[in-house]
Amino acid sequence: MTMRTEKEEFAIVLDFLPNGYPFDKRPMHRKTPIVQAISKVNFSLLELIPKKDVSIQSNQEVYIGDGKRDEIHHVAGRLPLDKLTQTAKHELDFVVEKLVKDNQTRFVEFFNKAGPISTRRHQIELLPGIGKKHMWEILDERREKPFENFEDIKQRVKLIPDPLKVVIKRVLMEIKEEDKFKIFVR
């Protein structure tokens, strides 16, 4: 598959809880602020602990790498989907769409380089709305010349669903663990 394995450097904030989780039964002075975020490369849902007296906004990009961090004290760990706040769940669709648009080259590369999973199934068929017919058309077109962007895919492959929306839908499916195969999410 085409998953990235490099260490994450940045995350996008989905929600900031300055008083911690509302369901946390500890006294107020024992609660810590929480940031719910999604990593930019692997689309991992993360729980981050901000530094003291730092205010963070939704959709803000924060540094989570190994160097000096300005806003984030530490990464608490991965966050299960069901622990996301309603605000974070709402923001997730918009943030994923923005990340896919901003990294179009990476996803077009998938269309250019994806290979078979087994003798009966191809990675391209994992994309929602793409069946055998579209898959063969994509493979034929990319043999002639690699795709340059989403618009190029739309122009050269007849009646294909919008490649941008297809990729966004697939990323969200993987985050929600609706399929055992992972193409873009770690």
The answer to whether the beta carbons of residues 114 and 124 sit under 8 Å apart is: yes
End-to-end distance of the chain based on CA atoms, in angstroms? 11
Res 26 pLDDT > 90: no
Average pLDDT over every residue of 81-91 = 95
Question: What is the average per-residue pLDDT within 144-170?
Answer: 95
CATH code of the domain occupying 103-175: 1.10.150.280
For the segment 57-85, the average pLDDT, to the nearest whole number, is: 94
Q: Quick one: what percent of the chain has pLDDT higher than 90?
A: 82
pLDDT over 50 (residue 87): yes
- Beta carbons of 54 and 74 less than 8 angstroms apart: no
Domain boundaries, the chain: 10-85, 103-175
Determine the pLDDT at residue 167: 97
In this predicted structure, what is the pLDDT of residue 19? Answer: 87
What is the pLDDT averaged over residues 8-12?
94
Q: Is 2.40.50.140 the CATH classification of the domain at 10-85? A: yes
Is residue 76 within 8 A of residue 49, CB to CB? The reply is yes
User: Of 38, 149, 153, which Cα lies nearest the Cα of 98?
Assistant: 38
SS3 call for 41? coil
**Which letter does DSSP use for residue 14 in this model?**
E
114: exposed, middle or buried (C-beta count within 10 Å: 0-12, 13-18, 19+)? Answer: buried
183 neighbors 1 (Cβ within 8 angstroms): yes
Q: How confident is the model at residue 2 (pLDDT cuts 50, 70, 90)?
A: very low
Q: What pLDDT sits at residue 5?
A: 55
Looking at the predicted structure, is the pLDDT value of residue 32 above 80?
A: yes
Residue 122: helix, strand or coil by DSSP? Answer: strand
Please, which residues bridge with residue 116 across strands? 122
Whole-number pLDDT of residue 31 = 81
Res 122: pLDDT: 95
CA atoms within 13 A on the CB side of 49: 8
